[in-house]
Amino acid sequence: MKIEKDTYQKTIALFLGFISFVILIFIMMQLKSVLIPLTFSVFLTFLFHPPVQYFNKYKIPRSISILFIMILLFGISYLFFLLLMTSLNGVQEKADFYAERIVIFVDTVLMPFNLTINEFLKILNISGEMIETKSVIQTLFSSGLIQRTFLSVSSFLGDVLIMIVFWLFMIYGKNQFDEKIKIAFDKNGTNISETIIEIDDQIQSYLFIKTLLSLATAIIATLLMIFFDVDFPFLWGLLTFTLNYIPNVGSLVATVFPIIFTLLKFGLGIHSITLSTLLISNQFLIGNFIEPYFLSRKLNLSSVFVLISLIFWGWVWGIAGMFLAVPIAAVIKIVFENIKPLQPLALLMGSKLDKNEK
């Protein structure tokens, strides 16, 4: 009888846990316009808290330190924005050239099938108005692309404003917040101090190392594209730096676009093959050897768990969720390690049997 009662209670607990999880996911999806900037603010706080603490050692007021970091961030963001807009203007100016190259490329692909572009579009039941392929492609390259970009940038700037407000409050009061958490939980016998220190250490290390390696990857890729005379090298460099924060998928997308534009400009030859090989090698070496060497000791996350986290957060929060997937996965694993019933799950999330193993 007791066994049946325990089984019944466990079943109810699992059912309620599942229902709670579904409700939580629904809430996160509905409130993503607020939760995404809030989550980014949390991780920015982890990233910039060490510099603020360093300035405090030299008796520099906290407000001055934060103001300096804000000015630096705005300066870097402004430079990135200028590079992006300049590159997009260049894309618009060369729309005709790349439209013609795409038409030639499609003609070449369809030639073995004895089809023209117009015949191929008719097979797909596309109306006669759409058969003017060159004008369609030009439209995609010019007005449509630029308009969507400006809309995306405007939306992004709104999110950045919310994120900065959250970040200011968080970084200014992080020390007091950590102390309050320690006092609140340590009284109940929970060793929260070590958990907070571990989360700080791992997230700060991940963000710092990932930023440096993404910057190095982007600089190398940009220099290669300048040397090989690829159009819009700074645009592809910015894309490489940004997308490298998305595990696996980001580096692939960041490499594919410049390779496509290189093939369109120079055709399939030694020039394009050499550059493509160098770009892929750059991503492969840094992403598969250098980055794991520096990050595996800190994060100790299973590649399968990272992939699952990437898919899950991408589904919940879209592209922003994919950027946040790894830091969130690291926090979840650390929290699970410090909750006894969840420690088996933390073991499955890790890439080593022993988290202290070197």
Domain extent, residue 64, equals: 31-172
Which of the four pLDDT bands, split at 50, 70 and 90, describes residue 357?
very low
* 223 vs 250, higher pLDDT: 223
CA dihedral over 83, 84, 90, 94, signed as positive or negative: positive
pLDDT at residue number 62? 83
pLDDT recorded at residue 101: 78
What percent of the chain has pLDDT above 90? 9
Residues with Cβ within 8 Å of 341's Cβ and at least 6 positions away in sequence, in order, are none
Q: Examine residue 40 and state whether it is found in any structural domain, yes or no.
A: yes
N residues, the chain: 358
14 domain residue, yes or no: no
Question: Residue 332 pLDDT > 90, yes or no?
Answer: no
Q: 280, 328, 278: which is closest to 305 by C-alpha?
A: 328
Residues in Cβ contact with 208 at an 8 Å cutoff, skipping those fewer than 6 apart: 47
Please state the rounded mean pLDDT for residues 19-38. 88
Max intra-chain CA distance, the chain: 79
Residue 275's pLDDT is 92
Q: What is the pLDDT of residues 69-84, one digit of tens each?
A: 888 888 887 888 788 7
pLDDT at 293: 79
Contacts for 257 with CB less than 8 Å, ≥ 6 apart: 236, 239
pLDDT per residue as tens digits for the range 210-246: 889 999 999 999 999 999 988 888 888 988 998 888 8
Q: What is the mean pLDDT of residues 90-118?
A: 73
Q: Is residue 54 part of a domain?
A: yes
Mean pLDDT of all residues in 62-72 = 86
Q: How is residue 195 written in tokens?
A: 């958990």
d(CA 264, CA 276): 13
Task: Give how many domains the chain has, as a whole number.
Answer: 1
To 5 degrees, how large is the angle CA 242–CA 317–CA 340? 100
Nearest to 330 by CA among 36, 46, 11, 31: 46
Query: Mean pLDDT in the chain?
Result: 78
Token output for 283: 């991503």
Q: How confident is the model at residue 339 (pLDDT cuts 50, 70, 90)?
A: confident
Which residue would you say has higher pLDDT here, 187 or 108?
Answer: 108
In this prediction, residue 274 carries a pLDDT of 93
272-290: pLDDT as tens digits: 899 999 999 999 998 888 8
305 within 8 A of 348, measured Cβ to Cβ: yes
Mean pLDDT for the stretch of residues 116-139: 57
Give me the pLDDT at residue 130, please. 46
User: For residues 276 and 89, which has the higher predicted lDDT (pLDDT)?
Assistant: 276
Q: Is 339 left (phi over 0), alpha (psi -120 to 50) or beta?
A: beta
In a domain, 256, yes or no: no
Contact (Cβ atoms closer than 8 angstroms) between residue 106 and residue 117 = yes
Distance of CA 23 to the CA centre of its chain: 26
pLDDT of amino acid 356? 47
Cβ(129)–Cβ(119) under 8 Å? no
Residue whose tokens read 């994120």? 163
pLDDT of residue 296: 66
Q: What is the DSSP secondary structure assignment for residue 59, as one 8-state letter?
A: T
Mean pLDDT over 107-132 rounds to: 64
251, 274 Cβ separation under 8 angstroms? no
331 falls within a domain: no
Least confident of 24-33, 114-123, 291-300: 114-123
Q: At what angle do helices 233-243 and 192-227 cross, to 10 degrees?
A: 160
Which two structure tokens, joined as six digits, stand for 274? 């050499």
Percentage of the chain modeled with pLDDT above 70: 80
Question: pLDDT, tens digit, for every residue of 292-321?
Answer: 877 766 677 888 888 888 899 989 988 888
8-state DSSP, 24: H
Report d(CA 336, CA 341) in Å as an integer: 8
Please state, in angstroms and as integers, the Cα–Cα distance from residue 222 to each residue in 216, 226, 230, following that order: 10, 6, 9
DSSP 195-233: HHHHHHHHHHHHHHHHHHHHHHHHHHHHHHHHHTT-SSH
Tell me what pLDDT residue 51 has: 86
Tell me if 43 is assigned to some domain. yes
Query: Is 324 domain-assigned?
Result: no
